[in-house]
Structure 1
Amino acid sequence: MIMIKSIAKLILALSISTLPVVTPAQQKPVRIGIAGLSHDHIHGLLGRKEKGDIVIVGIAEPDSGLVERLAKRYGFDKKIVYSSIDEMLRSTKPEAVMAYNDIFGHLEVVEKCAPRGIHVMVEKPLAVSVAHADKMAKLAKKNNIQILTNYETTWYGSNTEAYKVVNEEEQIGEILKIEFHTGHQGPVEIGCSKEFLAWLTDPVLNGAGALNDFGCYGANLSTWLMKGETPVSVTAVTHTNKPQVYPNVDDEASIIVQYPYNQVIIQASWNWPYNRKEMKIYGQSGYVFCRDTENMTVFKSKEKKATDKAAPALNEDRNDAFSYFARVVRGDINPQPYDLSALPNNEVVVKILEMAKKSAENGKTIVWKEYFK
């Protein structure tokens, strides 16, 4: 009897060991819809090398001229293009949608997708206002969908390594101050498309100018580094240094985000002489300086020297927005609340940005507990 049981166990073990293992690459690609083509970050998706993890089944874009230009450049079939989000969703039934429209339009995308159980990823920032973000969050919860926000800096190996040095290895002690220098020469100056500029420089469709466009990076990264802690207050100064180019929005924003025991300073600008997304984290016993995607400097007081290093590459499932989104849709990755792409993090981001706008408009510090009673 014992021998029979042993043989049965052996047969069961062998049968399990020979079952095929389905890797992400072997899964069916996630059926992706695109809402809008007017955001210039769309080039990253349309020009992406085929990995087999996603397939674009539909595009919603009413601008036929824009569609014609991008179809010629990237070779997608114009038969999958529809004039409205509703039509695209009905006809192609995507599993998930990526939004490349104006920021004001993010809410509409979620309103169309959420009741159908379709996951959404938007380009940064999440929304133009707290009111929009709140509606989106309620729809996500009601319909059990993911709403992710994509930032270029999420896929920087240097930022992930900085988090490890600061929060996991605790090499520089408690965070005292974080500084962000983000932006470039200006969207006009670097040659953004006319369709992108039409809403990026609109105070309603973008919510602000440089303040929203580049202030969101610092708010996002600091919320992650501080593990979701909310600030005590926000103080901001904005200005338009080039009114002849940007008559309707700010092109310069300095934001001070004060926490109980530390401070974040965000300098968001369309007036830098070069493209920069730099972060400096100062701790009690050292600092970490992230210059770009991989190059960084770590200084530890006890060693009395700074060490330059190249951050290791990110794992393949977390090295670009599209692979990550596909894994989330498939259930292989469950974003933690204050991960860089996660909804709770980006709700805090929108609150910080809105407080910054109010502070700049009123010329005074905005207190979190008073503003969000």
Structure 2
Amino acid sequence: MKPLFLLLFFFLTIYQTEAQDQPLKIGVAGLNHGHVGWVFTANKRSDIEIVGIAEPNRELAECYMKQHGLSMDLVFDTLEEMLEKTKPEVVTGFGTTFAHLEIVQHCAPKGIHVMVEKPLAVSLEHALEMKALAELHKIHLITNYETSWYATNEKAHELFLAGQIGDARKIVVRDGHRGPKKIGVGPEFLEWLTDPHLNGAGALMDFGCYGANLSTWLLQGQRPISVTAITQQLNPADNPKVDDEATIIVTYPNSQTIIEASWNWPIGRKDMEIHGLTGAIFADNAKSLRIRMAQGYDGFREEKFELDSRKAPFDDPFSVLKAVVRGKLKLSPFDPYSLENNMIVMEILQAAKESAASGKTVFLSK
């Protein structure tokens, strides 16, 4: 019996290894998100395979299929039909934020994992239902942020947790650009991005989520005490239904995070500052980082870093997705991709919307 057991173990090991090395079978839900090009780029690799696309807009689908040299046979009118016909391992959401809940409602009972573009959901109510479904059916539900790929954010996180600048007192995160219409996003993306029902808000949701996500990661999952937000509509001609300027103040027991989200800045930016007791860290963009250690009143000693891309699999969201689904990677607690982190993000965003609407600070329940 022993030789037979060893033989079976050998073949099982070979089978599992081969299964992990097979391309990740991805279903794409929607094509009207401006970031959808990322999944088509990933499809050109040997470790990723798009097996089906759910998109009712045939003209839009034909445009993408022609652009990327793919067959319209991959395209189905409904998500339900695509799942039934193609049996993907995971589904990536590249439609409206409002559609994220529906994706999880269809995928979770079938054991199909889901990755959505930031933010996790259009509201905290949607997020809570998505979380319940993911946990009930034991699927991975992860959220992709461009800033999760930034080597500077990883280095800032590493330096901060190592105590390089002491305890945080203020974190400032700025994300924005000239606005969706002015930067020339596609009409199908612009239509829902500036719709409060389909996007949840305007700049507050689109760019406010980055700061909430990074702050939660840096502070190791602390829930805020309160959230205060001010929103404005400075360009009603382009953004008639939603805010295009938002400032969110998030208070914690021993620190404060300021999130500045804008569709009015002349130069696009995604940067972060962490101010501690003895110094400050400045993540200026994806690859440039500075650390300043205090000397006297306003003096400092500065060290600069120019960083390469994050190491695999964290250099690419689809590599992260495959590694998580295949069991090669377990996300650390409150990692930017994690469900734990993004539920707190949704609490912050929901409170920010309520604060902006009421003109009052919103206190989170304990």
Fold conserved (TM > 0.5)? Answer: yes
Post-superposition offset of 1:333: 0.8
Distance 1:172 1:25 in 2: 45
Tell me if 1:137 matches 2:131.
yes
Aligned equivalent of 2:301 = 305
* Change beyond 3 A, Cα 1:68–1:21: closer
TM-score, normalised by the number of residues in structure 1 = 0.91
Q: Is the 8 A contact 1:25 1:53 kept in 2?
A: no
- 2:35 pairs, out of 36, 41, 57, with 41
Tell me if 1:74 matches 2:60.
no
Post-superposition offset of 1:237: 0.3
Instruction: Give % identity.
Output: 47
Aligned equivalent of 1:191 = 184
Tell me if 1:345 matches 2:341.
yes
Give the secondary-structure state (helix, strand or coil) at the position aligned to 1:110.
helix
Distance 2:164 2:265 in 1: 31
Distance 1:264 1:202 in 2: 27
Distance 2:18 2:118 in 1: 26
Q: Which runs of 5+ in 2 are unaligned?
A: 1-5
Aligned equivalent of 2:24 = 30
Distance 1:86 1:138 in 2: 20
Aligned equivalent of 2:96 = 102
Aligned equivalent of 2:234 = 241
Aligned equivalent of 1:174 = 167
Q: Is the 8 A contact 1:61 1:67 kept in 2?
A: yes
Give the secondary-structure state (helix, strand or coil) at the position aligned to 2:243.
coil
Larger mean Cα displacement after TM superposition, 253-262 or 300-309? 300-309
Aligned equivalent of 2:3 = none
Q: Is the 8 A contact 2:151 2:287 kept in 1?
A: yes
- 1:211 pairs, out of 160, 180, 204, with 204
- Computed over aligned residues only, the root mean square deviation of the Cα atoms, in angstroms, reads 2.0
Equivalent pairs counted in the alignment come to: 354
Distance 2:213 2:20 in 1: 33
Letter in 1 for 2:153: N
Q: Deviations over 1:48-87 (max 9, x none)?
A: 3733221100000000111111111111111010000000
Q: Is the 8 A contact 1:24 1:53 kept in 2?
A: no
Aligned equivalent of 1:316 = 312
- 2:145 pairs, out of 140, 151, 155, with 151
Tell me if 1:58 matches 2:46.
no
Post-superposition offset of 1:363: 0.3
Post-superposition offset of 1:45: 1.5
Distance 1:273 1:81 in 2: 38
Aligned equivalent of 1:165 = 159
Give the secondary-structure state (helix, strand or coil) at the position aligned to 1:231.
coil
Letter in 2 for 1:301: A
Post-superposition offset of 1:352: 0.2
Aligned equivalent of 1:86 = 80
Distance 1:36 1:78 in 2: 14
Letter in 2 for 1:179: V
Post-superposition offset of 1:300: 1.4
Q: Which runs of 5+ in 1 are unaligned?
A: 1-11
Distance 1:178 1:304 in 2: 19
Post-superposition offset of 1:143: 0.2
Alignment of 1:261-276 (within 5 A): 261-276=254-269
Aligned equivalent of 2:285 = 292
Distance 2:41 2:209 in 1: 25
Q: Deviations over 1:11-41 (max 9, x none)?
A: x9xxx9xx98998997001111000000010
Post-superposition offset of 1:44: 1.4
Post-superposition offset of 1:313: 2.9
Letter in 2 for 1:204: H
Distance 2:300 2:173 in 1: 24
Tell me if 1:224 matches 2:217.
yes
Q: Is the 8 A contact 2:231 2:246 kept in 1?
A: yes
Letter in 1 for 2:342: N
Q: Is the 8 A contact 2:93 2:116 kept in 1?
A: yes
Letter in 2 for 1:256: I
Q: Is the 8 A contact 2:43 2:49 kept in 1?
A: no
Distance 2:312 2:341 in 1: 23
Q: Deviations over 1:162-210 (max 9, x none)?
A: 001100x211000110001101000000000000011100000000000
* Change beyond 3 A, Cα 1:273–1:25: farther
Bigger CA radius of gyration: 1
Distance 2:167 2:46 in 1: 42
Q: Is the 8 A contact 2:167 2:276 kept in 1?
A: yes
Distance 1:110 1:147 in 2: 8
Distance 1:48 1:119 in 2: 18
Q: Is the 8 A contact 1:42 1:100 kept in 2?
A: yes
Q: Is the 8 A contact 1:157 1:293 kept in 2?
A: yes
Tell me if 1:253 matches 2:229.
no
* Change beyond 3 A, Cα 1:314–1:25: farther
TM-score, normalised by the number of residues in structure 2 = 0.93
Q: Is the 8 A contact 1:25 1:52 kept in 2?
A: no
Larger mean Cα displacement after TM superposition, 87-96 or 40-49? 40-49
